[in-house]
A and B are shown apart, each in its own frame.
Chain A
Amino acid sequence: MQTNSWVPFFPEQASTFAWQVDLLYFYLIAISVAFSIPIVLAIFYFALKYREKEKFATPDEIHGSIMLETVWSIIPFVISMTIFLGGAIVYFSQYRIPDDGMNVYVVGKQWMWKIQHETGHSEINELHVPVNRKIKLTMTTEDVLHDFSIPAFRTKTDVVPGRYTYLWFEATKPGRYQLFCAEYCGLNHSGMIGWVYVMEQRDFDAWLEGSVAGETPVEQGRDLFENKLGCASCHAGGPQQRGAPLEGLFGREVRLVGGQTVIADEEYIRNSILNPSSQIVEGYQPIMPTFKGQVTEEQLVALVAYVKSLSGADTSTQPTRAPAAQPAGGTGTQPAGTGPTTGAANR
């Protein structure tokens, strides 16, 4: 099932689950054909064999048959359940995001895709990834709905303002694959397209070397945290600490005022920056101001990456290239408390 490109009706199969989607598609085509042919033949056979021989004839009445009705209710039901199960299995492989993926951040914007690698490389409308590696996309948008869709990988997910959505894939073949925005997003929707470049690991490393890396998301986030936004004045620990400590926070359960608990995931961190008063941590005063309007989605992504890094949950544990090249001292404060998997386990 490696390649299907010789069949003109199919897009290339280039991800680990592409063949599953195609298999399900063939199964449904087979069922449709098996279902249609007898019905169409019966319609034509009956219509011709019993065609009107005398005007206004009154053929004998046939009222129906409970037996037949039961049979032709149960059989379609059973078949539809097999389709449901097949669909569910494939769906789980598409949408259960693995913990050990290489992180890439995506911000959609009318009408472009801004892509940020953990190494600090950023791209627009292009995504370079190594082959045979799990890639996890964490996505949001600055404005309206978008949808990150790669037909050759047989997957897509809406990109929703105000929250993170996730997409993962593991490309199986080096090559260049079309990327579409599949959710209507206004004037230049059909121009919001790009390419995913799947490369051998060594080519990918060469690509990383050859292109200019900016600050990594974690570095950007630390800069924002310590300098630009001044988060550190309350959250950095020490005698001035008025806000909750963030070390080891990511992935942990947090008790809120009122007794609820939430898991501190990306969504929670994002929300705590934008709407701090909506989820007050037990034991703290609601004194944090909102940063809504002061941070862009990209800065939020960086801040989230930084807070994750404080728990050792960022993917510096999954080096994108040779570990030595990883910016040194990414986080001076990596506590050993929470293992790297705790944070990502619920994704």
Chain B
Amino acid sequence: MQNADAIYPDQPVYPKDNYLSNGYTLKSWLLTKDHKRIAIMYLLSVSVFFLAGGLYASAIRLELLTPASDLLETASYNKAFTQHGILMIFFFLIPSIPAILGNFLLPLMIGAKDLALPRVNLLSLYLYWIGGALTVWALLQGGVDTGWTFYTPYSTTFSNSYVMAVGLGIFINGFSSILTGLNFIVTIHTMRAPGMTWFRLPLFVWAHYATSLVMILGTPVIAITILLLAIERVAQVGIFDPAIGGDPILFQHLFWFYSHPAVYIMILPGMGVISELISNFSRKKIFGYEFIAFSSIAIAVFGFLVWGHHMFVSGQSIYAGLVFSFLTMVVAVPSAIKMFNWTATLYKGSVSFDTPMLYAIGFMGLFLIGGLTGLFLGAIGLTVHLTDTYFVVAHFHYVMVGGQVIAYLGGIHYWWPKMTGKMYSEFWGKISAMLVFVGFNLTFFPQFILGYQGMPRRYASYPAEFQVLNIFSTAGASVLGVGLLMPVVYLTHSLFFGRNAGDNPWMLPGLEWRTSSPPPTLNFEESPVVTWEAYEFGIESGLDLDEARRRIRPTVVS
């Protein structure tokens, strides 16, 4: 309602010396050690992969408009969903929040000049580029058709596609994750400003700490798995293929031992963003800070113990199934705790509905559905029916898109003024947030019903009785697509024509808001000393709120 023009009639100053003005040559970017510039390069590259993954998604949805495999022949469809998954998971979802927002904000939030290992940070980016380039090359050569899960023995012996090249791309990209995680952990341990105790850290930082743990403990396992896959495919050593003495189920264990925790690499940073948004746009200390912080750690730890819930129908022992089902139910509890605490934070707050907050509220609704349908899939007797159907597809899109992507967009809008110094159009921001929410639900809710009816996933053609709901889904996807493309337009527009945002447009207490927008290369004019708790909005925060209020309504005063 209050759009930016009404709030800021006179423009704040745009700082002349900032990290963006520190060199304009290509070299000044490619050889930078500045975490903020690296984050911007990640933003651009990750967006390219998101767009590419989105194109595959469009192809999939268009193909599924009709029961027959007509728009795409079966071979192309199989490649489309495989490549959609690979690009979105390994090159968008996993790096998006940590590598862009985490990279940009962690040092700012803890009052540091940079990450602890700036060169390693640049190396992570290059590894991401090399892995990404290799993958894209393989896709252009002819692609891969194994599904993003690379199940053996199809991937090792039967698939006649670029499995090894893509595997190598993911292998290299994995080291980018590991190094980023390592960097974050070292930074959080050693680079906190004076007074920034562990329990004064913003929850965004806690979430990244938990994520980093998963990154450095889990990612090596997928690296090992890909290596074993390569050994089998190239040297014909029997590891996974029963024809030469291997065990295909072993691959599934190893794969999910990484890939389930990877789900938490994707969602935990999103939860961190949401904690920031809910608290800051309610202008109220987050409810149950310690519980949210430790629930992140609990999720990271328990996340390593539930991989077998992807294998309930794989022929594993029924007793193993029971244990994994039990642990899956346990891991639901910390997510529920977060949900309750976020809701309670709104109570007696001062809630404003700026674009980032719309995303946060959307997240709560979608993550609620994503989380609850996770219980359906953890209930072992029910999941026998649901496994490998569209119910699973709907569930993980609710968590990954409804959760992670929405949180990512919320975060991008929230920190955009800090990253660029410019304010985007609130009007278009709100429209896009609502389109994304509506389009998303229309796309994926019908898939729950399709799944219970029994429609299997990864089907290029399907029985005609499933068509109506698929039409809904495709229609929704087009709304979702428009909603997701809009920010590209108005955010880019804001770079050139947007109003100057000012250092702290929302008068928030976080350290990142106490430096100029965009921040200087070394982040702070003088090293900050922290004397306030996290999410302290009152007098103790030292923010001059009266002055800020005077500043925003000069027209009313005069």
Chain A residues within CB distance 8 Å of chain B: 9-11, 20-21, 24-25, 28, 31-32, 35-36, 39-40, 42-43, 46-47, 50-65, 68-69, 72-73, 76-77, 80-81, 83-84, 86-96, 110, 143-145, 147, 149, 151-152, 154-158, 160-163, 165, 178, 180-191, 193, 275
Chain B hits for A154, CB < 8 A: 384-385
Chain A hits for B192, CB < 8 A: none
Report which residue of B154, B389, B538 has the largest number of chain A beta carbons within 10 angstroms of its beta carbon: B154
Tell me, in angstroms, the Cα distance from A189 to B361 when the chains sit together.
39
Q: Is the Cβ of A84 less than 8 Å from the Cβ of B326?
A: yes
Report which residue of A10, A21, A60 has the largest number of chain B beta carbons within 10 angstroms of its beta carbon: A21
Report if A24-B381 is in contact (Cβ < 8 Å); known contacts: A73-B333, A156-B388, A160-B249. Answer: yes
Chain B hits for A59, CB < 8 A: 282-284, 348-350, 537
Q: Is the Cβ of A190 less than 8 Å from the Cβ of B284?
A: no
Q: Is the Cβ of B78 less than 8 Å from the Cβ of A91?
A: no
- Interface members, chain B 105-150 (any A CB < 8 Å): 145-147, 149
Write 9 A-B pairs (CB below 8 A) sorted by A numbering.
A32-B369, A47-B351, A86-B381, A87-B378, A87-B381, A145-B153, A160-B315, A186-B145, A190-B462
Chain B hits for A186, CB < 8 A: 78, 145, 154, 158-159
Q: Is the Cβ of A40 less than 8 Å from the Cβ of B365?
A: yes
Q: Does B467 contact A (CB under 8 A)?
A: no
Partner of A191, one of B379, B454, B461: B461
Q: Does B475 contact A (CB under 8 A)?
A: no
Total number of residue pairs linking A and B with CB closer than 8 Å: 292
**Complex interface bits, B38-60 against A, C-beta within 8 A gives 1, otherwise 0:** 00000000000000000000000
Tell me, in angstroms, the Cα distance from A156 to B283 when the chains sit together.
51
Q: How far is the CB of B346 from chain A (nearest CB, A)?
A: 4
- Interface members, chain B 320-337 (any A CB < 8 Å): 321-322, 325-326, 329-330, 332-333, 336-337
**Stretch binding the partner chain, chosen from B417-425, B517-525, B544-552:** B544-552
Q: Is the Cβ of B350 less than 8 Å from the Cβ of A28?
A: no
Q: Does B74 contact A (CB under 8 A)?
A: yes
Report which residue of A35, A50, A55, A160 has the largest number of chain B beta carbons within 10 angstroms of its beta carbon: A55
Given contact pairs A154-B384, A178-B454, a sample of 6 additional A-B residue pairs in the complex whose CB atoms are under 8 Å apart:
A39-B343, A46-B343, A52-B350, A151-B389, A180-B454, A182-B388
Q: Does B18 contact A (CB under 8 A)?
A: no
Q: Does B14 contact A (CB under 8 A)?
A: no
Q: Is the Cβ of A61 less than 8 Å from the Cβ of B538?
A: yes
Q: How far is the CB of B556 from chain A (nearest CB, A)?
A: 11
Q: Does B383 contact A (CB under 8 A)?
A: yes
Chain B hits for A145, CB < 8 A: 151, 153-154, 248
Tell me, in angstroms, the Cα distance from A87 to B361 when the chains sit together.
32
Chain B hits for A92, CB < 8 A: 318, 381
Q: Is the Cβ of A149 less than 8 Å from the Cβ of B388?
A: yes
Tell me, in angstroms, the Cα distance from A186 to B159 when the chains sit together.
7
Q: Is the Cβ of A151 less than 8 Å from the Cβ of B344?
A: no
Chain A hits for B372, CB < 8 A: 28, 31-32, 35-36
Report if A50-B380 is in contact (Cβ < 8 Å); known contacts: A43-B361, A43-B364. Answer: no
Q: Is the Cβ of A62 less than 8 Å from the Cβ of B452?
A: no
Q: Is the Cβ of B349 less than 8 Å from the Cβ of A91?
A: no
Q: Is the Cβ of A72 less than 8 Å from the Cβ of B337?
A: yes
Q: How far is the CB of A256 from chain B (nearest CB, A)?
A: 18
Q: Is the Cβ of A24 less than 8 Å from the Cβ of B287?
A: no
Chain A hits for B78, CB < 8 A: 184, 186-187, 189
Q: What's the dominant secondary structure at chain B's contact region?
A: helix
Q: Is the Cβ of B368 less than 8 Å from the Cβ of A39?
A: yes
Q: Which residue of A lies closest to B281 (CB)?
A: A52
Chain B hits for A163, CB < 8 A: 242, 315
Q: What 10 pairs across the A-B complex have the smallest Cβ distances?
A: A90-B381, A162-B242, A151-B454, A87-B379, A46-B346, A190-B459, A64-B288, A80-B329, A57-B350, A182-B388
Partner of B382, one of A39, A52, A90: A90
Q: Is the Cβ of A25 less than 8 Å from the Cβ of B382?
A: yes
Report if A87-B385 is in contact (Cβ < 8 Å); known contacts: A144-B154, A145-B248. Answer: no
**Complex interface bits, B340-369 against A, C-beta within 8 A gives 1, otherwise 0:** 110110111111110000000100110011
Partner of B384, one of A46, A91, A162, A193: A91
Q: How far is the CB of A131 from chain B (nearest CB, A)?
A: 20
Q: Is the Cβ of B452 less than 8 Å from the Cβ of A11?
A: yes
Report if A88-B385 is in contact (Cβ < 8 Å); known contacts: A69-B288, A145-B154. Answer: no
Q: How far is the CB of A251 from chain B (nearest CB, A)?
A: 19
Tell me, in angstroms, the Cα distance from A180 to B453 when the chains sit together.
12
Partner of B347, one of A50, A88, A161: A50
Q: Does B75 contact A (CB under 8 A)?
A: yes
Question: Number of B residues contacting the other chain (C-beta, 8 Å)?
Answer: 99
Report which residue of A36, A165, A186, A193 has the largest number of chain B beta carbons within 10 angstroms of its beta carbon: A186
Q: Which residue of B lies closest to A177 (CB)?
A: B454
Q: Does B478 contact A (CB under 8 A)?
A: no
Report if A190-B314 is in contact (Cβ < 8 Å); known contacts: A11-B453, A50-B350. Answer: no
Q: Is the Cβ of A83 less than 8 Å from the Cβ of B375?
A: yes
Report which residue of A20, A50, A143 has the largest number of chain B beta carbons within 10 angstroms of its beta carbon: A50
Chain B hits for A165, CB < 8 A: 315
Q: How far is the CB of A336 from chain B (nearest CB, A)?
A: 33
Q: How far is the CB of B33 from chain A (nearest CB, A)?
A: 36
Partner of B379, one of A36, A46, A84, A144: A84
Q: How far is the CB of A55 from chain B (nearest CB, A)?
A: 6
Chain A hits for B249, CB < 8 A: 160
Q: Is the Cβ of B351 less than 8 Å from the Cβ of A51?
A: yes
Q: Is the Cβ of B376 less than 8 Å from the Cβ of A57?
A: no
Report if A80-B375 is in contact (Cβ < 8 Å); known contacts: A55-B552, A86-B381. Answer: yes
Q: Is the Cβ of A91 less than 8 Å from the Cβ of B322?
A: yes
Q: Does B291 contact A (CB under 8 A)?
A: yes
Chain A hits for B291, CB < 8 A: 64, 69
Q: Is the Cβ of B350 less than 8 Å from the Cβ of A190?
A: no
Q: Does B339 contact A (CB under 8 A)?
A: yes
Tell me, in angstroms, the Cα distance from A58 to B350 when the chains sit together.
7
Q: Which residue of B lies closest to A293 (CB)?
A: B243
Chain A hits for B149, CB < 8 A: 184
Q: How far is the CB of A269 from chain B (nearest CB, A)?
A: 16
Q: Which residue of A lies closest to B346 (CB)?
A: A46
Q: Does B35 contact A (CB under 8 A)?
A: no
- Interface members, chain B 437-477 (any A CB < 8 Å): 449, 452-454, 456-463
Chain B hits for A73, CB < 8 A: 333, 336-337
Partner of B344, one of A68, A86, A91, A95: A68
Q: Does B247 contact A (CB under 8 A)?
A: yes
Report which residue of A155, A157, A161, A184 has the largest number of chain B beta carbons within 10 angstroms of its beta carbon: A184
Q: Is the Cβ of B352 less than 8 Å from the Cβ of A183?
A: no
Q: Is the Cβ of B460 less than 8 Å from the Cβ of A190?
A: yes
